[in-house]
Amino acid sequence: MTKKIKKTSQKASRSGVTNSVTIQRHVILACILILSACTNSPTILPQGGGGEANPNLTTNIAALEEWQDMRFGMFVHWGPVALKGTEIGWSRGREIPFSTYDSLYMQFNPVNFDASEWISIAKEAGMKYFVITAKHHDGFSLYDSEFTDYDIMNTPIKRDLMKEMQLACEEQDIMFSTYYSVLDWYHPHYTTRYRNEPRPVEDSNMDIYKQFLFDQVGELITKYNTNLLWFDGQWEASWTHEMGMELYQYCRELKDDLLINNRVDKGFKGMAGMTDSIAKYAGDYGTPEQRIGEFNNDYPWESCITICNQWAWKPDDKLKSTKECIHTLIKTIGGDGNLLLNVGPMPDGRIEPRQVEVLKEIGNWLKVNDEAVYGTRGGPYMPGDEVACTYKGKSFFLHIMNNSSEIVIPSLEGVKVKNVTLIRDADRDARRNDQRHDGVTLEEVKGKWIITLPEQLPSSIANVVEVRTNTLLSEIEPVTL
Ligand code: JFZ
């Protein structure tokens, strides 16, 4: 697998409005493309987009790269179901009778909700984007929607909590994004029935439902300026490949630098989450669920994984340790993916304190090791159980997860090592200026690099060694550790 995207310094415009600066950027990008074609260097190849019906509508590469640079985001599954502590959507008609579930919104009163606090928790954890369930399979809209009364404005709290989240994100420079389920087991015109739902579907009409869905998604883009749409629920028969491509195109027409996951269409296969044929199916990236995706630097991806077991809040749900979360992040970015770590806030509006504690500890590790995470890509070594690798420019970062004092890796042919340092604290200037080596050494023996670490390691969770080389590492074919 080779890296096909040529890096540009262009950043995506997040304003949602095309202005002269954006036009100028487009002109510059076009010039870069023409120039790179003339000089025979690699050109930008689209990684995905609107599927076979929209061959010219390719992923917005600048937005994609900006998002890939973030590497780590917060997923939130929340709604009136938190009052019951059962799973969002799926417990409707299972643990909770339909009529009870559908009435929960009348008691949903999260008086301790504070959007700035949620977003500060995400920020302190080192997360750079935020994805909230605007509407899950149960059909409840967590925002003020013009197109339904089954929304947050008809709960006792009567506040547009999602608007508050959007504003808090914008204030704290976290990318605001929304989850939207294309399947809706509540809507009278959505056709596929879940289990023994009493909802009459004989006269249902997907054209009517589709209009409702497009209207609601339009609201997320125009009223909430969502930067990414995390669709879901595409697997049922009511949702077709044609609808997926049409929805993708509709969204991009409203906002060109929007990112859209592959669950907008039918190309998503199983929990491995990748798309079968990128040209055929719509979507900008793959979505492995509850697992770390496999190394892939050809098609962008993001693993979504819960901090406990359930997506929505459950009292005393088993919480993952800080170590497990950090190792999951490391293995994910080492495979060149993003990690979207999910929390399910409580019915009173707070994120559980014990979860906040874990998030804080993740953030503490990231504060020291930030250079080895943000703006990196996975490689040139593929992740193993105990070591994963990321790179940026001519440096690669070995994330060592086993507390060992020596690691042996295959040397990279033709690559010369200039400097090796252990990331120990945020004092990167001292390290960069070669004033501190922190007792790390690298020795080449018969095609192997032997790296020795000092006795006293800074972290009991994972230690990162930065290896500066003379070679741009994006040009190296990934090597197995
Ligand atoms: C889906 C949702 O159903 C789930 O609630 C959560 O939002 C997650 C991020 O995405 O996960 C699935 C999708 C499909 C199945 C199970 C979980 N399935 O088909 O059994």
Residue 239 is assigned to a structural domain of this protein: yes
Q: In the prediction, which pLDDT does 35 show?
A: 44
Task: Give pairs for 449-453: CB < 8 Å, separation 24+.
Answer: 449/408, 449/409, 449/410, 449/411, 449/417, 450/406, 450/407, 450/408, 451/398, 451/406, 451/407, 451/408, 451/409, 451/420, 452/405, 452/406, 453/400, 453/404, 453/405, 453/406, 453/407, 453/422
- Interval 185-210: pLDDT, tens: 999 999 999 888 999 999 999 999 99
Whether 17 has a pLDDT exceeding 70, the answer reads: no
Q: What's the start-to-end Cα distance of the chain, in Å?
A: 16
Instruction: Find the residues whose C-beta lies inside 6 A of ligand 1.
Output: 88-89, 232, 235, 289, 304, 311
Residue 227 is assigned to a structural domain of this protein: yes
Q: What residue owns the CA closest to ligand 1's atom 14? A: 233
Q: From the CA of 89, give the closest atom in ligand 1.
A: 5
Q: What residue owns the CA closest to ligand 1's atom 10? A: 232
Q: What is the DSSP letter of 286?
A: B
281 & 339 share domain: yes
Q: What residue owns the CA closest to ligand 1's atom 4? A: 311
Query: What residues contact 221, with CB distance under 8 A and at least 6 apart?
Result: 16, 229, 251, 254, 255, 258
Choice from 76, 94, 232 to test ligand 1 binding pocket (greatest atom count within 8 A of CB): 232
Rounded Cα distance, 333 and 343, in Å: 20
- Interval 63-85: pLDDT, tens: 999 999 999 999 999 999 999 99
- Interval 88-129: pLDDT, tens: 999 999 999 999 999 999 999 999 999 999 999 999 999 999
Q: From the CA of 77, give the closest atom in ligand 1.
A: 7
Look at residues 292, 293, 248 and name the one whose alpha carbon lies nearest to residue 267.
248
What separation in Å is there between the alpha carbon of 135 and the centre of ligand 1? 13
**What is the pTM (predicted TM-score) of this model?**
0.91
Instruction: Give the dihedral sign, CA 85/87/88/91.
Output: negative
The beta strands (E) that lie in 202-327 are given as 228-232, 259-260, 282-283, 302-306
What separation in Å is there between the alpha carbon of 103 and the centre of ligand 1? 23
What separation in Å is there between the alpha carbon of 287 and the centre of ligand 1? 11
The pLDDT > 90 percentage for the chain reads 82
Residue 58 is assigned to a structural domain of this protein: no
166 & 38 share domain: no
309 & 280 share domain: yes
Burial zone of 51 (CB within 10 Å; 0-12 exposed, 13-18 middle, 19+ buried): buried
Most confident of the following: 12-21, 25-34, 122-131, 455-464: 122-131
Whether 382 has a pLDDT exceeding 90, the answer reads: yes
Q: In the prediction, which pLDDT does 260 show?
A: 98
Residue 261 in contact with residue 230, Cβ under 8 Å? yes
Residue 253 is assigned to a structural domain of this protein: yes
Query: For the chain, how many structural domains are there in total?
Result: 3
What separation in Å is there between the alpha carbon of 271 and the centre of ligand 1? 9
Picking from 372, 400, 429, the residue at the C-terminal end of a domain is 372
3 & 80 share domain: no
Q: From the CA of 75, give the closest atom in ligand 1.
A: 9
Q: Token digits for 399?
A: 């994330």
Whether 326 has a pLDDT exceeding 70, the answer reads: yes
Q: In the prediction, which pLDDT does 295 show?
A: 97
166 & 81 share domain: yes
- Interval 422-461: pLDDT, tens: 998 766 666 666 555 578 999 999 999 999 999 889 999 9
Q: How far is CA 131 from the centre of its chain?
A: 8
Strand pairing category for 406-410 and 395-400? unpaired
Q: Say which CATH number the domain at 414 has.
A: 2.60.40.1180
367 & 388 share domain: no
Whether 13 has a pLDDT exceeding 90, the answer reads: no
What separation in Å is there between the alpha carbon of 448 and the centre of ligand 1? 43
What separation in Å is there between the alpha carbon of 288 and the centre of ligand 1? 11
Q: What residue owns the CA closest to ligand 1's atom 3? A: 233
Whether 45 has a pLDDT exceeding 90, the answer reads: no
Q: What residue owns the CA closest to ligand 1's atom 1? A: 232
Stretch among 12-21, 47-56, 189-198, 339-348 having the lowest mean pLDDT: 12-21
Residue 54 is assigned to a structural domain of this protein: no
Residue 30 is assigned to a structural domain of this protein: yes
Q: From the CA of 287, give the closest atom in ligand 1.
A: 9
Burial zone of 158 (CB within 10 Å; 0-12 exposed, 13-18 middle, 19+ buried): exposed
Burial zone of 447 (CB within 10 Å; 0-12 exposed, 13-18 middle, 19+ buried): exposed
268 & 400 share domain: no
Rounded Cα distance, 157 and 142, in Å: 11
Whether 270 has a pLDDT exceeding 90, the answer reads: no
244 & 327 share domain: yes
Picking from 372, 401, 430, the residue at the C-terminal end of a domain is 372
Residue 200 is assigned to a structural domain of this protein: yes
Query: What residues contact 361, with CB distance under 8 A and at least 6 apart?
Result: 322
Reported residue count of the chain is 481
What separation in Å is there between the alpha carbon of 235 and the centre of ligand 1? 10
Q: Say which CATH number the domain at 187 has.
A: 3.20.20.80
306 & 358 share domain: yes
Q: In the prediction, which pLDDT does 369 show?
A: 96
Residue 120 in contact with residue 172, Cβ under 8 Å? yes
Picking from 353, 372, 391, the residue at the C-terminal end of a domain is 372
355 & 470 share domain: no
Q: From the CA of 136, give the closest atom in ligand 1.
A: 7
Domain span at residue 444 reads: 379-480
Stretch among 131-145, 202-216, 266-280, 339-353 having the lowest mean pLDDT: 266-280
What separation in Å is there between the alpha carbon of 179 and the centre of ligand 1? 12
What separation in Å is there between the alpha carbon of 437 and the centre of ligand 1? 47
362 & 413 share domain: no
Mean pLDDT for the chain? 90
Q: From the CA of 312, give the closest atom in ligand 1.
A: 5
Q: Token digits for 321?
A: 């340790």
Residue 264 is assigned to a structural domain of this protein: yes
3-state secondary structure of 92: strand
128 & 190 share domain: yes
